[in-house]
């Protein structure tokens, strides 16, 4: 009788413990996706699984998107090795709701060991012309760029999100990784007017020195008086962390023969000269602007196409 009672009590205890584990919110949140392998994080809360293929809705190869989209690819092939849980914690600390609320967005978490998740992973990486043999999840795709490993994702997700939002909603641009631009067409979407003075400003969103220089750039006059005539001033702003803009700033560094120690942002390029660093920009840009326009040969004209 005692042995039978012991077995009954042990069975009830196991059932009770199992019920606690399965009812735990964190357990539910990180359980493997049995069907699609894809889940959606809404702007504020975590939503349930979705049967949609987020890649076909992402407009990666279409016109300007209507929201910022982040794709987090991870491997969930055992119940105690949980990269998704780490990603949720990373989101809370590095991309909290107040930052996410800046722009309309959608965040997809995709388990690539499932059938649907693998299909999405292959489509996104194929569109970006990436060799999957060189990739090792977890991965984050944002604004046409890819970040590999939780540490790298943690260090870049905030800036990647804000940069993608700035591109879409402020600059009305969107980096399409399927459209490779090299050589002469690298600046095809930027142009200069020969009757205007053009200034090119390279910056980063999270750069504190750029934040100091931004007000000076914002307050530049629309027109300058040069040699007794009014000349319109055009300012081209280029975020170095957007799309392939790192290639663009390197092209400027090479053309202007910028020393390695000066190859940082913020930096402003004129037809013949450049000003680098917030101190030089704050001190010299407003007062020297008319004179800077006439210094040296017009290197901008060699880099940027002329407007029709």
157 & 268 share domain: no
> Measured between alpha carbons, how far is 191 from 194 in angstroms, rounded to an integer?
10
Alpha helices for the chain (secondary structure H) = 2-23, 25-30, 54-57, 83-94, 97-100, 115-127, 150-165, 208-218, 245-255, 278-292, 300-303
- Considering the chain, what percentage of its residues have pLDDT values greater than 70? 66
Whether residues 49 and 139 share a domain: the answer is yes
Asked which of 170, 201, 217 is the last residue of a domain, the reply is 170
pTM: predicted TM-score of the whole model, two decimal places: 0.68
Q: What is the mean pLDDT of residues 52-78?
A: 66
What letter would DSSP give residue 192? Answer: B
Among 116, 140, 170, the domain boundary falls at 170
- The verdict on 29 and 163 lying in the same domain is yes
Q: What percent of the chain has pLDDT over 90?
A: 26
User: What value does the mean pLDDT take over residues 50-66?
Assistant: 49
Q: Evaluate if residue 219 carries a pLDDT over 80.
A: yes
Assign residue 113 the CATH number of its domain. 3.40.30
**pLDDT for the residue numbered 234:** 86
CATH number at residue 207: 3.40.30.10
Same domain, 30 and 64: yes
Integer Cα distance of 243 and 173 in angstroms:
10
Residues 53 and 149 in one domain: yes
Same domain as 125, residue 42: yes
pLDDT at residue 57 greater than cutoff 50 = no
The overall average pLDDT reported for the chain is 74
> Which of 245, 240, 244, 233 lies closest to 286, judged by CA?
233
Phi and psi of 129, rounded to 5°? Answer: 60, 45
- 90 against 56, higher pLDDT: 90
The two three-digit tokens of residue 37, written as one number: 């392998």
User: What local confidence, expressed as pLDDT, does residue 248 receive?
Assistant: 85
Per the DSSP assignment, residues forming a β-bridge with 229 are 226
Mean pLDDT, residues 174-181 = 61
Write the DSSP symbol of residue 305.
Answer: P
DSSP bridge pairs for 198: 234
Asked if the structure places residue 13 within a domain, the reply is no
Based on its alpha-carbon atoms, the radius of gyration of the chain, rounded to whole angstroms, reads 26
Domain ranges, residue 87: 25-170
Distance in Å from the first CA to the final CA of the chain: 97
Domains identified in the chain, total number = 2
Least confident of 177-181, 250-254, 265-269: 177-181
Contact 94, 132 (CB under 8 A): no
Q: What's the rounded mean pLDDT across residues 74-80?
A: 73
Q: Quick one: pLDDT band at residue 286, thresholds 50, 70, 90?
A: confident
Res 56: pLDDT: 39
Tell me: do 153 and 43 sit in the same domain. yes
């Amino acid at each position: 009788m005692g042995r039978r009672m012991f077995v009954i009590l042990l069975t009830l205890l196991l059932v009770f413990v199992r019920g606690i584990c399965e009812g735990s919110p964190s357990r539910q949140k990180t359980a493997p996706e049995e069907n699609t392998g894809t889940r959606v994080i809404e702007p504020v809360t975590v939503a349930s699984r979705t049967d949609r293929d987020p890649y076909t809705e992402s407009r990666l190869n279409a016109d300007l998107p209507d929201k910022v989209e982040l794709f987090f690819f991870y491997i969930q092939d055992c119940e105690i090795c949980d990269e998704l849980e780490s990603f949720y914690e990373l989101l809370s600390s590095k991309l909290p709701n107040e930052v996410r609320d800046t722009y309309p967005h959608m965040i997809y978490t995709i388990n690539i060991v499932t059938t649907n998740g693998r299909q999405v992973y292959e489509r996104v990486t194929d569109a970006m012309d990436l060799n999957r043999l060189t990739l090792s999840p977890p991965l984050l795709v944002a604004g046409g760029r890819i970040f590999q490993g939780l540490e790298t994702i943690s260090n870049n997700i905030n800036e990647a999100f804000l940069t993608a939002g700035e591109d879409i909603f402020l600059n009305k641009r969107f980096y399409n990784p399927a459209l490779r631009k090299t050589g002469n067409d690298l600046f095809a979407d930027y142009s200069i007017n020969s009757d205007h003075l053009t200034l090119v400003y390279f910056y980063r969103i999270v750069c504190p020195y750029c934040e100091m220089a931004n007000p000076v750039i914002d307050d530049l006059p629309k027109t300058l008086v040069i040699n007794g005539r009014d000349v319109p001033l055009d300012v081209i702003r280029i975020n170095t962390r957007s799309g392939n803009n790192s290639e663009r700033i390197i092209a400027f560094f090479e053309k202007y023969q910028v020393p390695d120690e000066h190859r940082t942002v913020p930096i402003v390029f004129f037809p013949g000269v450049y000003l680098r660093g917030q101190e030089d920009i704050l001190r010299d840009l407003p007062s020297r602007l008319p004179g800077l326009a006439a210094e040296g040969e017009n290197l901008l004209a060699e880099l940027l196409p002329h407007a029709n």
